[in-house]
Structure 1
Amino acid sequence: MSAALNIGARALTTNLAALQVIGHNIANANTAGYSRQTVQTQSSGYQMLGGMYFGKGVELANVTRAHSDYLTREARLAGSAAAADGERYARLQQLESLFPTGTDGLGAAVNSMLNVWNDVASSPSDLSARVVALARGDDLASRMRSTAGQLDILTTSANQEASGTVSTINRLASDVAKINQKIIESQGDNGQPNDLLDQRDQLLSELGKLVQVTTVSADDGSTSVFVGGSQPLVLGSSANKLMLVNNPDNPSQKQVNLIQGGVSQALPTTNLGGSLGGLLTYVNTDLPQMQNLLGRMALALQTEMNTQHRLGMDLQGNVGGDFFVPSANAQAVPGAANTGNAQIHTQVSDPTALKASDYQLVFDGAGVNVTRMSDGVTTAFASLPAELDGLSFELDSGAGAVGDSYFVRPFASAARDMQVAIGSPTQLAVASPVMVTPGSTNAEGLSIESLYAFEASANLNDPVSISFLADGTFTISGLGPGNPPPDNPGLPGSYNYTPGKPLQFNGWSLTLRGSPTAGDSFDITPAPAGSNPQNGGNAKAVLALRDLATFDGVSLSEGYGVLLSHLGTEVQSAQFAARYTEQLAGSTESARAGLSGVNLDEEAARLLQFQQAYQASAKFLQVAQGTFDTLLQTVGR
């Protein structure tokens, strides 16, 4: 009889335990990271009575959770990739808003600044036209400074966000280590602390969205966490820390170091993943690229404008000065491990050859290697100065030791510091220092379009005469050294003529239109004193800068389009990656949740099942108790 009572009691407690687990599932149906739990039962064995074997009922074997290590790992990795791509895409959208198109864009400001010189060329003595030209230049400089300032704000904001993300990672790592300790202490021979395991998986999921992690399980139930490929963030019940620091070889970039036992080790940014990886890609790659593109645009424009403006004459007959305040030469930053004392700077040598890139210089036994950071191309030089990509790398003082490295950002401050250098409209160098006089007997087939100085030449003011021959070629006298040789050698040596193609000699450029007649002649001489109010030659030269191939073969007026094209490509690529990884993360999480999640319909069915089993067990226990009482009463008589 005691066996029957024991069977009933065990059935009652086992079914009650099942009901408790089902209730726990229902209560946590909406709890993030919760895995459905299931009661595992088993037979309580048997006993022999009268040569027969009778079962002893049921007992609770274990409470397990619906969980797949594979699906959990895949969901975590996909979530990390989605977080990285999503973070970068969101940041690039913010960046894109700084570069509008249409009349609000920098391209419109550049063209407006250049186009207004057409009015100045038409009316060189009109002060109102000169004032407008200065205003357009000031407006462009203001927009450049504003855009550069907004880029600085985005950089600061992203750095602060990255620092906050690192702090959150450290907190989560510490929480994982604490959970590991609890699991070690709670681990039993026949069961597992399911809720602690769920809490740890949820922490790892949150951690994976911030930085890509890999995990390794130990026999004691703890899980070690690794970041950056193979660096230990959590080992059992102890956690290391991450720290966001400046890259010692590139102060404009950030890197993440792992601090373990007082030793700091840099983690590869490309292996970080998560929102932290997306942020650092944005900070270290996307923002510097846009700063370089904007800075190159500003530096090339101000260099071309200043060079041309200095070749002209102002309203009082003075030689023109700088139109924009020249950017300071970029100083190279020495590497932290340098042992030499070299001081290096860069300056523009050819504004039409500039590449939107930072540069690294490394000294070796054979000289110095200059690496263009945008594509990793390295060029070796025997010594400094070195000319590369329209830049001159100059050694100011000292010497570099073997192994020394230097990092330089030639375009970092060009847009940030851009401003107009002149304040009076009379200082605008509109006039050309040379003038052209057609021969008195010229036919009417040729017209003069423009004449201006295009480079500083010692022979600029030398009198020169051009005479056209019957075959349409021309001869020229009065040339100084360094001019191109005749196209047609002989006596006399003549040059070919193409209508509309500039004739460039002695530092001046003359453009003629039409068809020449034999005997047509033109004399180029210094502009006489007092002719500046009627002379708009240099204004036409500034206007001609619009079509100067400057940005990888693209004209100065279309330089903003190069910037927009690069940004648009990056945004579109980031959008595609974000959408793809978001869908992948959603599908892998759905697969994990499909296995581990709570289905209320299923739980309701199981609730009814075990409720009936519990009631039946109670009824059986009641019958056994009644039978036992009857037996006691019978025996007692």
Structure 2
Amino acid sequence: MASVLNIATRALNTNLSTLQVIGNNIANVNTAGYSRQTANLASAGYQQLGSQYYGMGVQIDSVTRAHDVYLTREAQLTASLAAADSTRLARLQQLENLFPVGEDGLGASVNELLNAWTDVASSPTNQAARVVVLGRGEELASRLRETATQIDLLARTTSQQVTDTVTQVNRLSEDIAKINQKIIEAQGSKSSPNDLLDQRDKLVAELSQLMQVSTVAADDGTLSVFAGGSQPLVLGTKASSLAVERNTTDPSQINVVFKQSGYSMTLAPSSLGGELGGLMTFMTQDLASAQNQLGRMALVLSSTVNAQHQLGVDLQGNAGGDFFVAAAPAQGLAAVGNTGTAQIAASVADATQLQASNYEMRFDASGVTLVRLSDGTSQSFGSLPATFDGLQFEAASGSGAVGDVFLIKPYADVARNMQMAVSAADRLAAGSPVIITPASGNTGGASIENLYAVSDSANLTDPVTITFQADGSFTVTGLGPDNPAPDNPGPPASYNYTPGQPMQFNGWSLTLRGTPSAGDSFSVTATPAGGGQQNAGNANGMLALRDLTTYDGVSLSNGYGTVISDLGTRVQGAQFAATYSSSIAASAETARQSVSGVNLDEEAARLLQYQQAYQASAKLLQMAQSMFDTILQTVR
């Protein structure tokens, strides 16, 4: 009878405990990170009475949580990738807002400046037209400065977000180490500390949102966490930390550094993942590219406009000066380990060949190697100065030692320092230093469209005569060196003529329209004293800049399109990546939840099952007690 009472009591307690587990599941159906728990029942053993064996009832063997290591790991990895993509996309969209299109865009401002020379070309002494050019120039410079300022602000806020994210990573790492310690202490009992394990998994999931991590379980129940490839962020009950430090070569940039017991290592942005990886990728790639695109645009504009303006003559008869304040040569940033004394500088050699990239210069035994960092293209030179991608690199002072490395950022400060150099309308150099005079006996229909200087050739103002032949070609006399070779060897040597196509000799460009007659001639000579102010040759030269091929083969007037195109491609790619990775992460989490999550229908069915078992156990206990009372009364 005592055995029946024990069996009934044990069954009652077991079913009650099972109901408690089910109730706990129902209560935590909406608790983030909670894993469904199951009470696993086992026979309480047996006893021998005489020659027979009788069972001793039921007991709870263990309470386990529904957990799949693979699905949990998959959910963490995909969530990390989704967080990286969505964070980068959000920042890219902020960056895209800084480059509007239409009337508010930089492209419109560029074209407004160049087109403003039209009225000056029509009336070179018109002060109002000249003032409009100055206004358009100041507006363009202001927009470039403002855009650069907004990019700098975005860089600062992104850096602060990186710092805040690193602080969260360190806090979570410490919390995981503390949970590991509690799990070790709980391992003394034979039961699994399910709630602690859930807490740890939740912390790891939160950490995965911030950066990509990998985990390794130990026999003592602890979980070690590795980040940045293989750095032990949490090792058992000890947590290491991350820090944000300024780049030793380029203080404008930051690095995420792993620190442990005096050891430190800079983590590559590509190894971070999560929100931290998305932020660092944005800073090192997307933001840097936008800065270089904007800086190149500003440098091309200032260099080409200044060069053309210097070839003209202002209303006071003086040679033109800079239109925009000339950009200072970019100074190379020396690596910490350099042993030489070189001071490196880079300036514009050919504005039409500039590439939107930073550069690295390496000194080696054979000279120097220049690397375009945007795509890794490199070229070696025996010595400095060296010209690469339209830039001239030189040692401003000192000399480099083998192994020295320099970072050159030719576009970093150009846009933010854009300023007008011309402040007075009469200083606009709209006139040309050369004029053209048709011969009085010309009988053909050729007319002069424009004549302006295109380079500061030493022979720019030398007298030149163009004479047309019966076959439509023309001869040129008075040419200096470095001019195009004749199309036809002759005699006489001659050039082919195409109406509307520029003829460029001695540093000037002449365009004629119509068909000349044999013997027609034109003379190009220096503008007489006092005559340069009255013509608009250089204003036409400024207008011709609109079609100048720059920006990877794109005209100057359409150069802003290359900035928008590059940024738009990045945003579009980031949108696709974010959408795709978010979908994959959602699927992975759904798969994990299908195993670990609480299903209310299942729990309701189990609730009824064990409620009935509990009631039956209570009935058995009641019956056993009644029988036991009857026996006692009979014995009395």
Q: TM-score, normalised by structure 1?
A: 0.98
| Preserved CA contact (<8 Å) 2:269 2:280 | yes
For structure 1, which segment, 399-408 or 215-224, has the greater mean C-alpha deviation from structure 2 after superposition?
399-408
Please say if 1:151 is aligned against 2:144: no
1:23-80 CA-partner distances (Å, limit 9, x unpaired): 1111111110000001011111111223222111111100000000000000000000
DSSP 3-state at the match of 1:575: helix
Residue of structure 1 equivalent to 2:243: 243
Give the Cα separation in 2 of the matches to 1:376 and 1:150.
Answer: 29
Identity %: 61
Please say if 1:507 is aligned against 2:507: yes
1:514-563 CA-partner distances (Å, limit 9, x unpaired): 11101111111111233344311000000000000011111101111111
Residue of structure 1 equivalent to 2:456: 456
Residue of structure 2 equivalent to 1:16: 16
DSSP 3-state at the match of 1:416: helix
| Preserved CA contact (<8 Å) 1:119 1:129 | yes
Residue of structure 1 equivalent to 2:172: 172
TM-aligned CA deviation for residue 492 of structure 1: 2.5
Please say if 1:467 is aligned against 2:467: yes
TM-aligned CA deviation for residue 250 of structure 1: 4.3
Residue of structure 2 equivalent to 1:549: 549
Q: In the comparison of the two structures, how many residue pairs are matched?
A: 636
| Preserved CA contact (<8 Å) 2:465 2:524 | yes
Give the Cα separation in 2 of the matches to 1:554 and 1:17.
Answer: 77
Residue of structure 1 equivalent to 2:436: 436
TM-aligned CA deviation for residue 444 of structure 1: 4.2
Residue of structure 2 equivalent to 1:29: 29
Residue of structure 2 equivalent to 1:570: 570
Residue of structure 1 equivalent to 2:5: 5
TM-aligned CA deviation for residue 590 of structure 1: 0.3
Give the Cα separation in 2 of the matches to 1:475 and 1:620.
Answer: 124
Residue of structure 2 equivalent to 1:213: 213
| Preserved CA contact (<8 Å) 1:310 1:320 | yes
TM-aligned CA deviation for residue 498 of structure 1: 1.4
Q: Residues 182-581 of structure 1 correspond to what in structure 2 (within 5 A)?
A: 182-188=182-188, 190-581=190-581
Give the Cα separation in 2 of the matches to 1:251 and 1:445.
Answer: 64
DSSP 3-state at the match of 2:276: helix
Amino acid at match of 2:611: Q
Give the Cα separation in 1 of the matches to 2:88 and 2:229.
Answer: 21
| Preserved CA contact (<8 Å) 2:25 2:37 | yes
| Preserved CA contact (<8 Å) 2:358 2:407 | yes
Give the Cα separation in 1 of the matches to 2:244 and 2:549.
Answer: 42
Give the Cα separation in 1 of the matches to 2:307 and 2:267.
Answer: 46
Give the Cα separation in 1 of the matches to 2:308 and 2:551.
Answer: 18
Amino acid at match of 1:619: K
Give the Cα separation in 2 of the matches to 1:376 and 1:476.
Answer: 46
| Preserved CA contact (<8 Å) 1:547 1:557 | yes
* Structure 1: gaps spanning 5 or more residues: none
| Preserved CA contact (<8 Å) 1:254 1:283 | no
Residue of structure 1 equivalent to 2:66: 66
DSSP 3-state at the match of 2:415: coil
Residue of structure 1 equivalent to 2:115: 115
Amino acid at match of 2:515: S
| Preserved CA contact (<8 Å) 2:447 2:514 | yes
Residue of structure 2 equivalent to 1:626: 626
Give the Cα separation in 1 of the matches to 2:207 and 2:485.
Answer: 71
DSSP 3-state at the match of 2:295: helix
1:228-270 CA-partner distances (Å, limit 9, x unpaired): 1111100000000011223334444432211011110122221
Residue of structure 2 equivalent to 1:88: 88
DSSP 3-state at the match of 1:448: strand
Please say if 1:56 is aligned against 2:68: no
Give the Cα separation in 2 of the matches to 1:48 and 1:367.
Answer: 95
Give the Cα separation in 1 of the matches to 2:311 and 2:32.
Answer: 71
| Preserved CA contact (<8 Å) 2:349 2:392 | yes
1:119-159 CA-partner distances (Å, limit 9, x unpaired): 11001111000000110111111111111111111111111
Please say if 1:77 is aligned against 2:72: no
| Preserved CA contact (<8 Å) 1:39 1:62 | yes
DSSP 3-state at the match of 2:360: strand
TM-aligned CA deviation for residue 500 of structure 1: 1.3
Give the Cα separation in 2 of the matches to 1:410 and 1:558.
Answer: 22
1:149-191 CA-partner distances (Å, limit 9, x unpaired): 1111111111110111111001000000000000010014632
TM-aligned CA deviation for residue 632 of structure 1: 1.4
Give the Cα separation in 2 of the matches to 1:171 and 1:366.
Answer: 50
* Structure 2: gaps spanning 5 or more residues: none
For structure 1, which segment, 87-96 or 521-530, has the greater mean C-alpha deviation from structure 2 after superposition?
521-530
Amino acid at match of 2:37: Q
| Preserved CA contact (<8 Å) 1:316 1:532 | no
Amino acid at match of 1:278: G
Give the Cα separation in 2 of the matches to 1:228 and 1:518.
Answer: 78
Give the Cα separation in 1 of the matches to 2:506 and 2:45.
Answer: 112
1:485-509 CA-partner distances (Å, limit 9, x unpaired): 3222243322221111111111111
1:325-380 CA-partner distances (Å, limit 9, x unpaired): 01111100000111112100100000000000000011111111110000011111
Amino acid at match of 1:583: S
Give the Cα separation in 2 of the matches to 1:111 and 1:485.
Answer: 35
DSSP 3-state at the match of 2:124: coil
Q: TM-score, normalised by structure 2?
A: 0.98
| Preserved CA contact (<8 Å) 1:252 1:284 | no
Amino acid at match of 1:199: Q
Residue of structure 2 equivalent to 1:596: 596
Give the Cα separation in 1 of the matches to 2:525 and 2:405.
Answer: 52
| Preserved CA contact (<8 Å) 1:313 1:320 | yes
Give the Cα separation in 1 of the matches to 2:463 and 2:378.
Answer: 47
1:590-628 CA-partner distances (Å, limit 9, x unpaired): 000111111122212222222222222122112211211
| Preserved CA contact (<8 Å) 2:313 2:533 | no
Give the Cα separation in 2 of the matches to 1:278 and 1:550.
Answer: 33
| Preserved CA contact (<8 Å) 2:80 2:210 | yes
Residue of structure 2 equivalent to 1:131: 131
1:264-309 CA-partner distances (Å, limit 9, x unpaired): 0122221211111011000000001011011111101110000000
Give the Cα separation in 2 of the matches to 1:476 and 1:229.
Answer: 69
Give the Cα separation in 2 of the matches to 1:631 and 1:445.
Answer: 139
Amino acid at match of 1:263: Y
Amino acid at match of 1:69: V
Give the Cα separation in 2 of the matches to 1:196 and 1:186.
Answer: 9
For structure 1, which segment, 245-254 or 489-498, has the greater mean C-alpha deviation from structure 2 after superposition?
245-254
Give the Cα separation in 2 of the matches to 1:356 and 1:596.
Answer: 50
Give the Cα separation in 1 of the matches to 2:6 and 2:461.
Answer: 121
DSSP 3-state at the match of 1:339: coil
Give the Cα separation in 1 of the matches to 2:258 and 2:63.
Answer: 39
Give the Cα separation in 1 of the matches to 2:250 and 2:380.
Answer: 20
Amino acid at match of 1:428: L
Give the Cα separation in 2 of the matches to 1:251 and 1:496.
Answer: 57
